[in-house]
């Protein structure tokens, strides 16, 4: 079954999306360990949209959840903000000490590490980030 | 998220429970700032009851550590488990913070 949620891209709405994806993944039989990973990836992706894609103009963010024939969870996250490809963001320097450690960059690292596959495309002036998770 | 604090000699033990994400992490940072403004500089952050942490949570811990570094203070962590531990490993925060099994272990070392 395909389920979706769409709300204005504001930090205060991020938790609604997390509840939504948690319920969806639970209904599809994903383990709580897998759901932890999904939630983290979703929070990081949505916060990036609120902060960067819509830094100038305001708009909506939408999440569409479905499963494919291999029972993988496919999550499309769509926004109409500035082009923002998380796959192009360079990894933070993980070897730096407290003084030199950058505050940013970790969110994208978590998105990449939490999911099995990640795809980005820009279509009709929209960013579409697809996160794919197996049951494991 | 729930933040509980207690003081043992000159060390503040901060226990964080629940979820530490984009919306809740600033609350942790604020609590820490208040202690630092009062002159406290030695902290043990107990994450045993923490179920979830995102980059926002790590950011608030790192920001606090940076302030304490300037004041020759110290912040160590205890009780990392499950998904929270994994996040600390992926981000390599395990190599920039001293981490103990329990707050009691930390107390005897710092």
CA angle A100, A82, A11 (to 5 degrees): 65
Q: What is the pLDDT of residues A69-86, one digit of tens each?
A: 999 999 999 999 999 998
Of A16, A33, A45, A50, the residue nearest A111 (C-alpha) = A45
A positions 9-68 inside 8 Å of B (CB): 11-12, 14-15, 18, 33, 36-37, 39-40, 43-44, 47
Measured CA to CA in angstroms, residue A5 lies from A37, A122, B102 at distances of 19, 20, 41
CA distance A110 to B47: 19
Which residues, other chains included, contact B83 with Cβ-Cβ below 8 Å and sequence gap of 6+?
A33, A36, A37, A40, B51, B52, B53
CA distance B30 to A89: 30
Q: What is the pLDDT of residues B43-75, one digit of tens each?
A: 999 999 999 999 999 999 999 999 999 999 999
The DSSP code for A26 is H
Work out the pLDDT band at B109, boundaries 50, 70, 90.
Answer: confident
Residue A56, pLDDT > 90, answer: no
Q: What is the pLDDT of residues B5-16, one digit of tens each?
A: 999 999 999 999
CB contact under 8 A, B55 and A110: yes
Residue A18, pLDDT > 80, answer: yes
State the pLDDT at residue B41: 97
Work out the pLDDT band at A89, boundaries 50, 70, 90.
Answer: confident
ipTM of the shown complex:
0.90
Query: Which of A34, A39, A43 to mutate to test binding with chain B, by most B CBs within 10 Å of its CB?
Result: A43
CA distance B61 to B54: 11
Residue A105, pLDDT > 90, answer: no
What value does the mean pLDDT take over residues A40-47? 97
Q: pTM of the predicted model, to two decimals?
A: 0.93
Residue A104, pLDDT > 80, answer: no
């Amino acid at each position: 079954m395909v389920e979706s949620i769409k709300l204005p891209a504001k930090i205060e709405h991020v938790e609604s999306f997390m509840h939504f994806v948690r319920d969806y993944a639970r209904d599809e039989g994903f383990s709580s360990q897998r759901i932890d990973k999904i939630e983290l990836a979703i929070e990081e992706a949505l916060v990036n949209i609120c902060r960067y894609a819509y830094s100038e103009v305001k708009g909506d963010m939408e999440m569409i959840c479905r499963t494919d024939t291999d029972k993988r969870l496919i999550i499309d996250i769509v926004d109409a903000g500035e082009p923002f490809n998380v796959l192009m963001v360079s990894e933070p320097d993980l070897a730096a000490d407290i003084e030199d450690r950058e505050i940013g960059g970790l969110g994208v690292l978590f998105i990449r590490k939490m999911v099995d596959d990640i795809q980005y495309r820009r279509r009709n002036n929209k960013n579409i980030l697809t996160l794919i998770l197996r049951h494991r | 998220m729930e933040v509980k604090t207690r003081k043992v000699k000159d060390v503040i033990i901060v226990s964080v429970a629940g979820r530490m994400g984009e919306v809740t992490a600033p609350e942790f940072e604020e609590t820490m700032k208040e202690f630092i403004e009062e002159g406290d500089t030695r902290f043990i952050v107990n994450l045993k009851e923490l179920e979830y942490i995102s980059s926002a949570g790590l950011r608030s811990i790192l920001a606090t550590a940076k302030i304490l570094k300037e004041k020759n203070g110290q912040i160590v962590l205890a009780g990392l488990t499950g998904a929270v531990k994994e996040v600390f490993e992926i981000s390599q925060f395990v190599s920039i913070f001293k981490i103990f099994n329990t707050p009691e272990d930390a107390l005897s070392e710092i």
